[in-house]
Amino acid sequence: MSVIRTAVTGIGGYLPEQVLTNADFTRMVDTSDEWIVERTGIKQRHKAAEGQVTSDLAVEAAKVALAASGRDISDIDLIIVATTTPDMTFPSTASIVQAKMGAKGAAFDVQAVCSGFVYALSVADGFVARGLSKAALVIGAEVMSRIIDYTDRGTCILFGDGAGAVVLEPVEGQGTSADRGILSFDLQCDGTKTDLLYVDGGVFENNNHIGKIRMVGNQIFRHAVQKIAQATEAAIEKAGITHDDVDWFVPHQANQRILDGVADKLGLDRAKVVSTVANHANTSAASIPLAWYEATKDGRIKTGDLVLIEALGGGLTWAAAAIRV
């Protein structure tokens, strides 16, 4: 049976120039390089320059993805930005990206925090597979540094700034797991657990104050391993594949211990796990496309490979998808 699949035809990433090492944090809070590396695997993270906003990072990543796809901005008819750090309350960051890039068509944001890229991909898949978009840009972009409390050692060391982007286009498939393109999704949310991870500001809570990240880290850790493994199993089953079919596991880059824990729970070879957490830290919605871009650039992920992505974040939201590149 012939079906329309949504294929990833280009991928790109962007990291701001400034790098903050763990040593930099020892001058801000009571912490050490040893503690951070042992508990998280993080060694450094990038930080946006003063005045550099999420849409700036998004545009840079999108340009790289467009070039990789061989498309021009005039081909793009849909832009979705996944972000938890929008330039403004409104308009959407996607609207601003559209104007900066000179694109046309639909543009809007998706807010599912660290799961945002997977959620945005699922929305774009609906557009592309139903013929509503001929070429879409899905971008995960964040300036987490603007919502970090640099006096809270439990959160400030975890996050970084960056952006990743994909170009999506329709391709014809046979409705089997051998098809190129997105094969399955599993998306979940448990809104009763907002108190475990949130930003203490915003329109309703605290007028004129965007707020800072608050987190119960050890509880998030526990939920992450369990829920990500469940969503990933579901995505594997829905795609009609087995664990052995997975070529690359590209997880949300939160913490090396979470990455290892999920891979072990699923029985996936750790050598198949793409990890950029040491150099990028947690860039929220940007982390999956950034890691995917790195592993494409260095030649690990190739056309035809089966890539599994997953994330958990504020909401709590969690999600996974299986994609043949």
Q: Which residues are catalytic?
A: 114, 252, 282
Task: Give CA–CA dist 65/14, Å, rounded.
Answer: 10
Range 300-319, binding ligand ACO (CB under 6 A)? 312-313
Only one of the segments 29-37, 72-80, 239-247, 293-301 lies at the binding site for ligand ACO (rule: CB under 6 A); that segment is 29-37
Question: In this structure, what are the phi and psi dihedrals at residue 56, rounded to the nearest 5 degrees?
Answer: -65, -45
Only one of the segments 60-68, 134-142, 219-227, 243-251 lies at the binding site for ligand ACO (rule: CB under 6 A); that segment is 219-227
Name the residue with the smallest CB distance to ligand ACO. 217
Only one of the segments 57-65, 204-212, 251-259, 272-280 lies at the binding site for ligand ACO (rule: CB under 6 A); that segment is 251-259
* AA letter at 131: G
What letter would DSSP give residue 122? H
Q: CB-based contacts of 88: which residues, under 8 Å, 6+ apart? A: 96
Q: Which of 269, 273, 193, 177 is nearest to 227 (CA)?
A: 193
Site for ligand ACO (CB under 6 A): which residue of 18, 31, 44, 279? Answer: 31
* Cα torsion angle, 166, 80, 317, 221, sign: positive
Lay out the site mask for ligand ACO across 147-186 (x = CB under 6 A, - = otherwise): ------xx--xx----------------------------
Cβ atoms of 257 and 317 within 8 Å: the answer is no
Give least dist CB 180 to ligand ACO, A. Answer: 29
Any contact of residue 290 with ligand ACO (CB under 6 A)?
A: no
Only one of the segments 28-36, 73-81, 135-143, 171-179 lies at the binding site for ligand ACO (rule: CB under 6 A); that segment is 28-36
Site for ligand ACO (CB under 6 A): which residue of 131, 218, 298, 299? Answer: 218
Q: Tell me the site size for ligand ACO, rule CB under 6 A.
A: 23
Three-state SS at 232: helix
Site for ligand ACO (CB under 6 A): which residue of 188, 217, 238, 305? Answer: 217
Give 254-257 contacts, CB < 8 A, sequence gap 24+.
Answer: 254/114, 254/158, 254/224, 254/282, 254/287, 254/312, 255/39, 255/40, 255/41, 255/42, 255/158, 255/221, 255/224, 255/282, 256/40, 256/41, 256/42, 257/39, 257/40, 257/41, 257/221
Site for ligand ACO (CB under 6 A): which residue of 110, 167, 254, 273? Answer: 254
* AA letter at 223: H
Q: Which of 247, 281, 56 is nearest to 155 (CA)?
A: 281
Task: Give CA–CA dist 72/285, Å, rounded.
Answer: 24
Lay out the site mask for ligand ACO across 37-76 (x = CB under 6 A, - = otherwise): --xx------------------------------------
Rule CB under 6 A: which residues touch ligand ACO? Answer: 31, 35-36, 39-40, 114, 153-154, 157-158, 197, 215, 217-218, 220-221, 224, 252, 254-255, 282, 312-313
